[in-house]
Structure 1
Amino acid sequence: MDIKQKIQQLRTELTQHNYSYYVLDNPTISDYEFDMKLKELQELEAKHPEFFDPTSPTVRVGGEVTKNFETVVHENRMYSLDNSYSKEDLQDWEVRIKKMVDGPVEYTCELKYDGASMNMIYEHGKLVRAVTRGDGFQGDDVTTNVKTIKSVPLQLKGDYPEKFEIRGEIILPIEGFNKMNEERIEIGEEPYRNPRNTASGSLKLQDSSEVAKRPLECLLYSLMGGQLGFSTQFEGLQKARDWGFKVPKEAKLAKSLEEVFEY
């Protein structure tokens, strides 16, 4: 096996181990074994820069510094969600929906995660841009920082569209948030106030290696594009999962509004 083949083998192994751990929650090797393989890959890539690959697992370590975050206009506006506080609201909404469509209506039920909304663009299976929601019309390009998040695929799996957008939430799970605060208190610093603001603030850190140290996760829930190959939200979630994205397991297809209420 030559050097190029060895580098590719390590990249493939680490990408799969990373997917098993952070997306499937089913680790296949120990943290120590993973770190040793990653270190070996880093050393080989440093000696052979001619084999650089922007989707390499070593990209997740971070290190690039961003002084200014470019403002990017969204191709498709990022809307906020409407609230509803009663069954009657949903029943009235269903009446309006049924006037607009022919045939039976199904609903995709999902939990609402409280984090930083993110829009990511993939081309030819590779992450090319990640932009914050901003005001819904434009946001900040935080691609370098998002690439350090372990549950964000840098290279997709399977059969995927040539180009598409996928949206989700960057969250900081409470366990990781509490651990971060314990460490801050130990060194005499003020604890962070809440996970949502901490997740959002993490994305705007200038040093991506600092972002890489934080236990951020990305949960995806919405696909956009012209040639996606499906027609419903639930199918989209299934496709996203097949391509390697972390999709909330709690999502459920409801055949009626009664099933929505049960959810």
Structure 2
Amino acid sequence: MAKISKTAARERIEFLKKELERHNYNYYVLNNPTITDFEFDLLMGELQGLEKRFPEFATEDSPTRHVGSDLSSAAGSDFVQVAHRWPMLSLGNTYDKEELLEFDRRIAKTVSGPYAFSCELKFDGTAICLTYRDGQLLRALTRGDGTKGDDVTRNVINIPAIPKQLHGEGIPREFEIRGEIYMPYAAFERLNAERLEDGQDPFANPRNAASGSLKLQDPAEMRTRGLDCVLYHLLGEDLPFKTHTEALQAARGWGLPISEFSRRVESIEAALAYIEEWDTRRKQLPFATDGIVIKVDELELQRQLGFTAKSPRWATAWKFKPEQALTPLLGIDYQVGRTGAVTPRGQSGARAAFGHRGQTRLPPQQRPDGPA
């Protein structure tokens, strides 16, 4: 571990805090990230390491101790902010197998008796919290800052996958269920094509498109965006379920959209096998995934393990490393939208397009022989 003076550590910690807050704002509020998730996680890991070495410089407002906020602050936004009944936290994550094994060892030291894991695809969308009362959708909140969120009910009721009325037996009088609003690739490509035609910049990825669509002021426009939903965490008073898997199976029976790809496994080794399987299979999915979520399946053990200030101790996320590939740049076209705006579009040999300003530097007549 490299040596660092206290003065240098304090300055680096302050720099990292400001950088991470700036990137959180770009990601959650502007829906326009300027770095990858992997780069963000590296900065967060560095800050966590420095705060552990120099706890005297750790503060309660550090990004390591609270979730990024998506609360609307833009002029003209009229979304009402509502308190969450239970805090809506984020997950710890890792790219390292040894850290995942350590996650398992910590659980084994804390609980007595056997336990299993629920393994789930980590859909790359924007978090949502739905409240149902007497079988009817009452409210939909974004994660916000973890303690309160924007009320986006008027938009969520226009997502076909989310039922306004539940059916079936054993439905609790009132409960929350949390999940992810996401945009399938087909809807994403259609939306970006429309934006280019209108002379607007395309969205960088489906996650940003989903988040931006959920905050549209006009529900009729949001209805055209092709959003979908998956739900994965049930909360309520005195629920009868013993395991997370059992709760989700019941929710599926009530008509709620639950992932068909989740799997209960009996060991961390089986969870690692699930990760390896989906690191390949995910490339064939019609939507974006960026990892695997691993949760202790037994709800009583979840209660025993509890939470940190920012995340549950009974769950973690394995993040897939960002993929890189080379593709030949065959040319650059310039598309004129209906407003007269000119947008450069790179033509490649793969399923890719380069439409952001600053991403194209070559004149249109240039045809590189090598990969771009």
SS in structure 2 of the partner of residue 131 of structure 1: strand
Which residue does 1:196 correspond to in 2?
207
User: 1:77 matched to which residue of 2?
Assistant: 87
**1:230 is matched with which residue?**
241
Higher-Rg member (1/2): 2
2:117 maps to: 107
Once residues 91 and 192 of structure 1 are traced to their aligned partners in structure 2, the CA distance between those partners, rounded to angstroms, is 37
Q: Which of 200, 204, 216 is the equivalent residue of 1:205?
A: 216
Greater helix share, structure number? 1
Q: 1:254 is matched with which residue: 253, 265, 274?
A: 265
Share of identical aligned residues, percent? 48
The alpha carbon displacement at 1:67 in A equals: 5.8
Checking the alignment, whether the CA contact within 8 Å between 1:161 and 1:227 is kept in structure 2 is no
Displacement of 1:180: 1.2
- What is the CA deviation profile of residues 179-228 of structure 1, one whole-angstrom value per residue up to 9, with x for unaligned ones? 11122223433322221111111111111111111100011010001132
Indicate the residue corresponding to 1:127 in structure 2.
137
**Aligned residue in 2 for 1:164:** 175
Please identify which structure carries the higher strand content.
Answer: 2
- CA shift, 1:99, in A, is 2.6
Paired amino acid for 2:165: Q
| TM-score under structure 2 length normalisation | 0.51
Structure 1 segments unaligned to the other structure (5+ residues): 1-65
TM-superposition CA deviations, 1:36-64 (whole Å, max 9, x none): xxxxxxxxxxxxxxxxxxxxxxxxxxxxx
- Tell me the amino acid that sits aligned with residue 158 of structure 1: G
Specify the SS of the correspondent of 2:257. coil
What is the alpha-carbon distance in structure 1 between the residues aligned to residue 110 and residue 168 of structure 2? 35
Q: How many residues align?
A: 198
More off after superposition, 197-206 vs 251-260: 197-206
CA distance in 2, matches of 1:193, 1:83: 23
Find the counterpart in structure 2 of residue 221 from structure 1.
232
TM-score for the superposition, normalised by structure 1: 0.72
Separation in structure 2 between the aligned mates of residue 249 and residue 103 of structure 1, nearest angstrom: 29
Q: Which amino acid aligns with 2:230?
A: L
Aligned amino acid, residue 100 of structure 2: L
In structure 2, relative to structure 1, the CA distance for the partners of 1:136 and 1:67 (3 Å cut) is closer
Q: Distance in 2 between matches of 1:208 and 1:148?
A: 7
Counterpart of 1:137 in structure 2 is 147
Q: Which residue of the partner structure matches residue 179 of structure 1?
A: 190
CA distance in 2, matches of 1:189, 1:112: 29
RMSD: 1.4
Contact 1:119–1:133, Cα closer than 8 Å, also in 2 = yes
State the SS of the aligned residue for 2:241: coil
Partner of 2:312: none
SS, match of residue 111 in structure 1 = strand
Q: What secondary structure does 1:210 align onto?
A: helix
